[in-house]
Amino acid sequence: MRENTSDPQSTPSPLSRETLVVSAGRPAAEHDAPVNTPIHLSSTFHGSGPILASDRAYGRFTNPTWEEFESVIGRLEGTDLPALLYGSGMAAVSAVLEQVPVGSVIVMPEHTYLGTMALARQMQDRGISRLVEVPIEDTDAVIRTLTEQVRTLPQPAGPDVAAPYVLFWAESPTNPMMEVADLPVLLAAARGIGVRTAVDNTFATPMAQRPLEWGADYVVHSATKYLAGHSDVILGAVVTADPELRRQALAKRSLAGGIPGPFEAWLGLRGVRTLALRVRQATANAQVLAERLAAHPAIASVRYPGLPGDAGHERAAAQMDGFGSVLSATLHADAATTEAFVDAVRLWTPATSLGGVESLIERRRRHSTEAKTVSESLVRLAVGIEDVEDLWADLLQALDSVTR
Ligand SMILES: Cc1ncc(COP(=O)(O)O)c(C=O)c1O
């Protein structure tokens, strides 16, 4: 498969991520060449004779517009191997989960994104793998579980059948409980005992943490969220620094076809140019809102790793560059009053999702599949880049309207 050779900085470089989001993944800097990658609408590519691995060949295998975005995501995550784009975050998640051989075990946080958890449950129901849930904040308990699962793995079903393994799937911070995992310790421990590892880095973004640098085998993104950044496209990505794992994932994507459209990839590439600015502004807003909500009498508790009293604060301060821009707040109220609060906002948008320029708010238990350990009165706030005083004024009037 053709890699992006047109990128002027395709060798390892000390460029900061603030620069990379702008400068990586562009056409060759030649006289009269376009500055931006066009949307390549072509389902096939010229060619004859045997198809080489370096050929584009067909639009299900690669596309020049994807390649530019893939190179940006790979480099943001700290590898010169381009990411692989998918038609959605869930297609990227399933590209990693569905690789596990029969008899494998998938270990996941109790509060894993509900779609990912549902997929792992379906795989269990189909007899492919087992799902084991762990309290991700408890590092010792997670390592004990991983060790035990490795020890009790079944033998392969036959000499030509792939050997089962343990896949440790991590999210940090978790969705929507905002628990922070000790990723450097957990990933090192997992690697040491032969556990394969994947981190969904959607919430944190590569601006805040780069799990490949701690030894993760895969990083997965719902690029729908911060990477694309404008709530106008559904996209996913898988990143790995291991050429063999990338080759396998690319072969599977080419066969299974969970690919994005070139226009969607172009929107993602356009959106990622402002990732650094958006993340910085949204993170600053989230910090202010978390502090003010925590002090408000209508709020029972706030989870945000940027709060000094938060259970994940010290860990996040040590391992993340910034605390992200999602927070959860639990109201002193029942489910109906919490819904009324969500309905009372005027500037915020009541909607699921996160990572766009606009601030979204959602009572998470409106999803019937959300974990029952999530309070009925918990709202997830996905903070955008608006003026923080306007965001706060809107939350205040909505809180006043339901607590009056
Ligand atoms: C953490 C996380 N991972 C994966 C996904 C799935 O991504 P998509 O909606 O792009 O399929 C989501 C979607 O909300 C998510 O929040």
Is residue 225 flagged as an active site residue? yes
| Atom in ligand 1 nearest the alpha carbon of residue 90 | 11
- Using alpha carbons, select from 53, 74, 73, 50 the residue that is nearest to residue 62: 53
Using CA atoms, how far apart are residues 21 and 164, in angstroms rounded to an integer? 38
Query: How far, in Å, CA of 109 to CA of 31, rounded?
Result: 51
Whether 113 sits among the annotated catalytic residues: the reply is: yes
Cβ neighbours of 50 (radius 10 Å): 6
Mutational test site, ligand 1, from 73, 86, 90, max ligand atoms within 8 Å of CB: 90
Options 75, 86, 196, 200, the catalytic residue: 200
Q: What is the pLDDT along the chain (404 residues), one digit of tens a residue?
A: 343 444 555 555 579 999 999 999 999 999 999 999 999 999 999 999 999 989 999 999 999 999 999 999 999 999 999 999 999 999 999 999 999 999 999 999 999 999 999 999 999 999 999 999 999 999 999 999 999 999 999 998 888 999 999 999 999 999 999 999 999 999 999 999 999 999 999 999 999 999 999 999 999 999 999 999 999 999 999 999 999 999 999 999 999 999 999 999 999 999 999 999 999 999 999 999 999 999 999 999 999 999 999 999 999 999 999 999 999 999 999 999 999 999 999 999 999 999 999 999 999 999 999 999 999 999 999 999 999 999 999 999 999 999 87
Contact criterion met (CB below 8 Å) for 74 and 3: no
Which candidate in 60, 191, 292, 366 is catalytic? 60
Element (H, E) at 362: strand 360-363
Q: Identify the structural domains of the chain with CATH numbers, from first to last.
A: 64-272 (3.40.640.10), 275-403 (3.90.1150.10)
Task: Specify whether the CB–CB gap between 111 and 181 falls below 8 A.
Answer: no
The distance between the two most distant Cα atoms of the chain, rounded to a whole number of Å, is 75
pLDDT score recorded for residue 1: 39
Comparing C-alpha atoms, which of 247, 191, 199 is closest to residue 215?
A: 191
Task: Name the E strands within 112-195.
Answer: 129-134, 166-171
CB 23 within 8 A of CB 15: yes
Strand order in the sheet with 299-303: 299-303, 326-331, 378-382, 360-363, 349-350
- Number of residues that make up the chain: 404
User: One of 113, 218, 226, 304 is an active-site residue; which one?
Assistant: 113
What single letter denotes the amino acid at residue 272?
Answer: V
Residue 11: what pLDDT? 54
Residue 99 in contact with ligand 1 by CB distance below 6 A: no
Q: How many CB atoms lie within 10 A of CB 83?
A: 29
Q: Find out whether the beta carbon of 112 lies less than 6 Å from any atom of ligand 1.
A: no
Using an 8 Å Cβ cutoff, are 328 and 303 in contact?
yes
Tokens representing 242 are 């291991």
Q: Is 270 a catalytic residue?
A: no
Q: Judge whether 210 counts as a catalytic residue.
A: no
Q: Does residue 117's CB lie within 6 angstroms of at least one atom of ligand 1? A: no
What are the residues whose beta carbons fall under 8 Å from the beta carbon of 239, sequence distance 6 or more?
73, 74, 77, 79, 81, 83, 84, 212, 218, 219, 220, 221
355 alpha carbon to ligand 1 midpoint, in Å?
11
What pLDDT sits at residue 401? 96
Residue nearest to ligand 1 atom 8, measured at CA: 89
Out of 130, 196, 210, 225, the active site residue is: 225
Answer yes or no: are the C-beta atoms of 201 and 51 closer than 8 Å: no
